[in-house]
């Protein structure tokens, strides 16, 4: 059994104009010890998938179907008290998108990390402070910085503090949502290095969300591609980059110059993703797909294992 098994998960947001089907039947496994990169254009449901797993959806968001198994337990069925006590922050945690700007400005960063420890473990304050300093060291920030306020730190340091906070209770699984997007290129490389290093040192299982395929190529073992609330492809990094099966993945990989080359947005796929209030029938990518056939606008392609460990949801792959 994989450490995380997401099974036909559907998460919708209620809005005045109807339900936004942000995650609409996603099945995805993350193996123990794997670093999985999750990519897809803005608005395809990456953050919603993560927030569903960590059970921190906004008020109008609901899991309306499917399950999330963590270490064989369906965590969507746990009462919130049990989930909070045994899972969130303890066994699994998350670095939120844009979180480095969410540190509380009036508290020293060491105290904020210590607070995260004290919230979930019964330890003395001094011990929590000591651990906060250790955690800062672990993410490559001078422990003396524990007494700094957030505004005294650079963006890269603040992001490291957020990573330290996510690690405060020794989780085995961590989701990092666009952890380097807001940083400049040199600092991006440094923070990625920290993430890689932590993975090795702590044996973490990880889901790294990014719209930047070069980050996945540099950091991850596996890759999963989402489009308009659906998973369209899943495989190893080599599968996805060397032999992408889904035309959407092919478009993304085609718009991605080279692993070491300049980073750029996914711009080579004409058109834009559909409105998730009323996604198109059949394959959601068909209006933009250069290979669309009749069936693509009528029936949704199932996610099938085309080669061992390499799955795609595309009628071109089905049976072929
Ligand atoms: N609270 C909300 N209420 C209504 N719709 C929402 C809410 N949050 C997100 N959405 C919608 O759900 C869809 C998925 O959003 P989500 O934030 O999960 O995408 P994403 O892949 O993380 O995008 P990005 O790359 O921009 O971070 C989008 O259509 C978005 O507009
Ligand atoms: Mg997001």
pLDDT at 320: 46
Q: How far is the CA of 313 from the centre of ligand 2 (A)?
A: 22
Same domain for 181 and 159 = no
Is 97 contained in some domain? no
Q: Which of 170, 193, 212 is the last residue of a domain?
A: 170
Per residue in 158-180, pLDDT tens? 999 999 999 999 999 999 999 99
Q: Which of 117, 146, 170 is the last residue of a domain?
A: 170
| Closest residue to atom 7 of ligand 1, CA basis | 13
Q: Is the CB of 43 under 6 A from ligand 1?
A: yes
Same domain for 273 and 180 = yes
Is 265 contained in some domain? yes
Per residue in 10-47, pLDDT tens? 999 999 999 999 999 999 999 999 999 999 999 999 99
| Position 83 pLDDT exceeds 50 | yes
Best of 16, 17, 38, 48 for a ligand 1 pocket test (most atoms within 8 Å of beta carbon): 48
Q: How far apart are CA 212 and CA 110, in angstroms?
A: 31
Same domain for 81 and 124 = no
Residue with tokens 């300049």: 262
Q: Is the CB of 245 under 6 A from ligand 1?
A: no
Q: Which residues contact 224 (CB under 8 A, 6 or more apart)?
A: 28, 36, 37, 38, 39, 231, 233, 234
Residue with tokens 């995650």: 23
- pLDDT confidence tier of residue 76, bands split at 50, 70 and 90: very high
Same domain for 301 and 190 = yes
| Position 186 pLDDT exceeds 90 | no
Is 290 contained in some domain? yes
Q: How far apart are CA 156 and CA 173, in angstroms?
A: 22
Best of 10, 19, 22 for a ligand 1 pocket test (most atoms within 8 Å of beta carbon): 22
pTM of the shown model: 0.94
Of 12-21, 182-191, 253-262, 298-307, give the lowest mean pLDDT range: 253-262
Helix runs in 203-285, H state only: 213-219, 237-242, 247-254
Q: What is the mean pLDDT of the chain?
A: 92
Is 144 contained in some domain? yes
Is 51 contained in some domain? yes
Is 96 contained in some domain? no
* Number of domains into which the chain is organized: 2
Same domain for 302 and 228 = yes
Same domain for 285 and 159 = no
The ligand whose atoms approach the alpha carbon of 225 most closely is 1
The ligand whose atoms approach the alpha carbon of 211 most closely is 1
20 CA closest ligand 1 atom index: 5
| Distance from chain centroid for Cα 274 | 21
- pLDDT confidence tier of residue 211, bands split at 50, 70 and 90: confident
Q: How far is the CA of 279 from the centre of ligand 1 (A)?
A: 14
Same domain for 300 and 196 = yes
Same domain for 285 and 191 = yes
Q: How far apart are CA 102 and CA 91, in angstroms?
A: 23
CATH number at residue 284: 3.40.50.300
- pLDDT confidence tier of residue 260, bands split at 50, 70 and 90: very low
Same domain for 308 and 204 = yes
Same domain for 251 and 199 = yes
Structural domain range at position 144: 104-170
Q: How far apart are CA 77 and CA 113, in angstroms?
A: 30
Same domain for 66 and 8 = yes
Q: Which of 140, 170, 200 is the last residue of a domain?
A: 170
Same domain for 206 and 115 = no
Is 152 contained in some domain? yes
Q: Is the CB of 58 under 6 A from ligand 1?
A: yes
pLDDT at 257: 57
């Amino acid at each position: 059994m994989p450490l995380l098994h997401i099974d036909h998960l559907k998460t919708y947001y209620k809005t005045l104009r109807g339900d936004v089907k942000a995650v609409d039947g996603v099945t995805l496994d993350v193996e123990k010890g794997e670093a999985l990169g999750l990519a897809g254009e803005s608005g395809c449901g990456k953050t919603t998938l993560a927030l569903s797993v960590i059970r921190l959806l906004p008020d109008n968001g609901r899991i309306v179907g499917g399950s999330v198994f963590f270490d064989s337990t369906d965590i969507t069925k746990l009462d919130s008290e049990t989930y909070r006590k045994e899972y969130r922050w303890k066994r699994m945690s998350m670095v939120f998108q844009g979180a480095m700007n969410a540190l509380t400005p009036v508290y020293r960063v060491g105290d904020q990390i210590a607070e995260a420890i004290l919230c979930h473990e019964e330890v003395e304050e001094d011990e929590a402070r000591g651990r906060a300093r250790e955690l800062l060291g672990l993410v490559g920030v001078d422990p003396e910085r524990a007494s700094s306020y957030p505004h005294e730190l650079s963006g890269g340091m603040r992001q490291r503090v957020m990573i330290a906070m996510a690690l405060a209770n020794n989780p085995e699984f961590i989701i990092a949502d666009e952890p380097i997007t807001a940083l400049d290129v040199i600092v991006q490389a440094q923070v990625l290095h920290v993430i890689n290093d932590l993975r090795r040192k702590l044996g973490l299982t990880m889901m790294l969300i990014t719209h930047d395929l070069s980050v996945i190529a540099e950091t991850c073992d596996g890759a999963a591609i989402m489009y308009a609330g659906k998973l369209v492809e899943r495989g190893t990094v080599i599968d996805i980059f060397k032999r992408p099966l889904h035309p959407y993945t092919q478009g993304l990989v085609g718009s991605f110059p080279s692993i070491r080359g300049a980073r750029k947005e996914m711009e080579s796929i004409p058109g834009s993703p559909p409105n998730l209030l009323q996604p198109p029938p059949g394959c959601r990518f068909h209006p933009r797909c250069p290979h669309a056939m009749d069936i693509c606008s009528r029936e949704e392609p199932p996610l099938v294992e085309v080669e061992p460990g390499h799955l795609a949801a595309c009628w071109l792959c089905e049976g072929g």
